[in-house]
């Protein structure tokens, strides 16, 4: 067996537990050796669940007192920049959950820190490792459907996000928290970078849920134009209540390609002639993307071992952030926004800040 990579997980929430489960149950050549969470209760609970003795309230502490090669960051978005820079400074390879950060400046700082310290930086776009998405991407790369003309992605999720994830200030909101994956997927599958975007959002359920977060929206529809001339759309609904729904549909010059399925299980039941056939739906993202989460983490540890660059990098994370920011600007200003407006405005990360 390959030499085991030791991992420190930062963030004991839901996404953190998905990665911990991967490391403990499904990846024999990775070892979860340390846990970091500022919340002592969450830390205790996750530590017990995954049998990790080394538990810390900060990444700095963990770096000081425990030995590991890699850090997995699964905390709220607004903390990513600081944690990534700390990890890089400590010489630790970084796996960072999406969205990468709140601003392009933060993304650049993270990328620069990783480069400066010669550590890897992989972004948590697990769809790149889902067997369905990978098979589809291979077909597109092989030219099976020709040049992509239209790429439509959707992610609709069941539960109301926590307060920080609804607040544009701490998370950039649903387009970032729920649809980051779509921003990455459409760019990946369209094989082109987004050139401009237009977005509309609506708030249907906020009042019902007692949400008073300013600018809260639960429905979003984004229109994208890529450099290649391809058109794209992203839709987000959260909470959509009906299940976890994530699909992509691409029309290329030669044909159609669909990825994903509303159906979550190969079981069909009919016990009522009036209502008809019933088949289960995916209920959550860990259920839908179970194998993708394991595979992305294996890829990361494989890169740490080999020293090769991950296939999903900080640049990919940065593009998704750029899309989210442009779309957000779009719905605030009720106009289409070129991504260059934002990209050109970012001050270069100077040697000093590096």
Of residues 260-319, those binding a copy of itself (CB under 8 A) = 260-281, 283
C-alpha 24/C-alpha 35 separation (Å) is 13
**CA-closest candidate to residue 173, choices 183, 164, 186:** 164
CB of 290 to a copy of itself, least distance (A): 9
CB of 13 to a copy of itself, least distance (A): 21
Distances (CA, A) of 194 to 41, 152, 228: 42, 13, 9
Q: Are 86 and 73 in contact (CB under 8 A)?
A: no
State the burial class of residue 235 (Cβ atoms within 10 Å of its Cβ: 0-12, 13-18, 19+): middle
| Phi, psi for residue 277 in degrees, rounded to 5 | -75, 140
Q: Where are the alpha helices (DSSP H) in 22-94?
A: 40-49, 59-65, 80-89
Q: Where are the alpha helices (DSSP H) in 123-260?
A: 131-141, 163-166, 168-171, 174-177, 180-190
Instruction: Tell me which DSSP letter residue 302 carries.
Output: H
Name which position in 121, 190, 257, 301 contacts a copy of itself (CB under 8 A).
Answer: 257
Name which position in 311, 329, 336, 343 contacts a copy of itself (CB under 8 A).
Answer: 336
Q: Are 198 and 337 in contact (CB under 8 A)?
A: yes
Q: Based on CB atoms, which residue is closest to a copy of itself, 91 or 229? A: 229
86 token code pair: 């700390």
Within positions 193 to 212, which residues make up the interface with a copy of itself, using CB under 8 A? 198-205
CB of 225 to a copy of itself, least distance (A): 5
Q: Based on CB atoms, which residue is closest to a copy of itself, 227 or 309? A: 227
Q: Based on CB atoms, which residue is closest to a copy of itself, 176 or 199? A: 199
Q: Based on CB atoms, which residue is closest to a copy of itself, 17 or 75? A: 17
CB of 98 to a copy of itself, least distance (A): 22
Q: Based on CB atoms, which residue is closest to a copy of itself, 25 or 306? A: 25
Q: Based on CB atoms, which residue is closest to a copy of itself, 61 or 235? A: 235
Within positions 13 to 32, which residues make up the interface with a copy of itself, using CB under 8 A? 24-26, 28
C-alpha 25/C-alpha 19 separation (Å) is 10
C-alpha 157/C-alpha 148 separation (Å) is 27
**Count of residues touching a copy of itself (by CB under 8 A):** 80
Element housing 31 (H / E): strand 30-36
Name which position in 163, 207, 256, 308 contacts a copy of itself (CB under 8 A).
Answer: 256
Element housing 115 (H / E): helix 104-116
Within positions 121 to 180, which residues make up the interface with a copy of itself, using CB under 8 A? 131-132, 135-136, 139, 144-145, 147, 149-150, 152, 156, 158
Q: Based on CB atoms, which residue is closest to a copy of itself, 20 or 113? A: 20
Number of residues that this document lists for the chain: 354
Q: Are 80 and 92 in contact (CB under 8 A)?
A: no
**CA-closest candidate to residue 63, choices 89, 31, 81, 37:** 89
State the Cα angle at 135 between 133 and 136, rounded to 5°.
Answer: 65
CB of 298 to a copy of itself, least distance (A): 10
The residue range among 3-11, 76-84, 105-113, 257-265 that interacts with a copy of itself, by the rule CB under 8 A, is 257-265
Within positions 41 to 100, which residues make up the interface with a copy of itself, using CB under 8 A? 51
CB of 215 to a copy of itself, least distance (A): 15
Q: Based on CB atoms, which residue is closest to a copy of itself, 70 or 201? A: 201
Residues 236-255, one symbol each (x = binds a copy of itself by CB under 8 A, - = not), give: -x--xxxx-x-----x-xxx
CB of 255 to a copy of itself, least distance (A): 3
Q: Are 169 and 77 in contact (CB under 8 A)?
A: no
The residue range among 35-43, 113-121, 165-173, 227-235 that interacts with a copy of itself, by the rule CB under 8 A, is 227-235
CB of 118 to a copy of itself, least distance (A): 30
Q: Based on CB atoms, which residue is closest to a copy of itself, 248 or 312? A: 248
């Amino acid at each position: 067996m390959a030499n085991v990579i030791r991992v420190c997980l930062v963030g004991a929430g839901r996404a953190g537990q998905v990665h911990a489960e991967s490391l403990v149950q499904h990846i024999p050549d990775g070892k979860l050796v340390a846990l970091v969470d500022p919340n002592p209760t969450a830390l205790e609970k996750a530590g017990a669940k995954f049998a990790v003795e080394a538990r810390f309230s900060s990444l700095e502490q963990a770096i000081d007192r425990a030995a590991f090669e890699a850090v997995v960051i699964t905390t709220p978005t607004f903390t990513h920049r600081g944690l990534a820079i700390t990890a890089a400074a400590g010489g630790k390879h970084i796996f960072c959950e999406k969205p990468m950060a709140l601003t392009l400046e933060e993304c650049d700082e993270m990328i620069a820190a990783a480069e400066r310290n010669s550590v890897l930086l992989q972004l948590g776009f697990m769809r790149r490792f889902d067997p369905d998405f990978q098979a589809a991407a291979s077909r597109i790369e092989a030219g099976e459907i020709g040049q992509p003309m239209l790429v439509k992605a959707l992610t609709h999720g069941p539960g109301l996000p926590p307060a920080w994830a609804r607040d544009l200030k701490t998370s950039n909101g649903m387009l970032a928290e729920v649809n980051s994956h779509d921003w990455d997927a459409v760019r990946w599958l369209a094989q082109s970078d987004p050139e401009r975007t237009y977005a509309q959002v609506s708030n249907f359920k906020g009042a019902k849920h007692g949400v008073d977060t300013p600018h809260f929206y639960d429905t979003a529809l984004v229109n994208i134009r890529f450099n290649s001339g391809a058109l794209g759309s992203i839709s987000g609904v959260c909470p959509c209540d009906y299940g976890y729904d994530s699909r992509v549909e691409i029309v290329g010059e030669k044909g159609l390609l669909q990825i994903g399925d509303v159906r979550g299980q190969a079981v069909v039941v009919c016990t009522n002639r009036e209502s008809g056939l019933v088949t289960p739906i995916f209920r959550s993202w860990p259920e839908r993307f179970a194998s993708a989460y394991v595979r992305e983490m294996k890829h990361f540890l494989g890169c740490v071992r080999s020293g090769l660059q991950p296939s999903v990098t900080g640049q990919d994370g940065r593009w998704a952030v750029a899309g989210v920011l442009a779309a957000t600007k779009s719905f605030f200003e009720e106009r289409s926004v070129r991504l260059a407006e934002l990209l050109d405005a970012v001050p270069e990360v100077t040697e000093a800040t590096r």
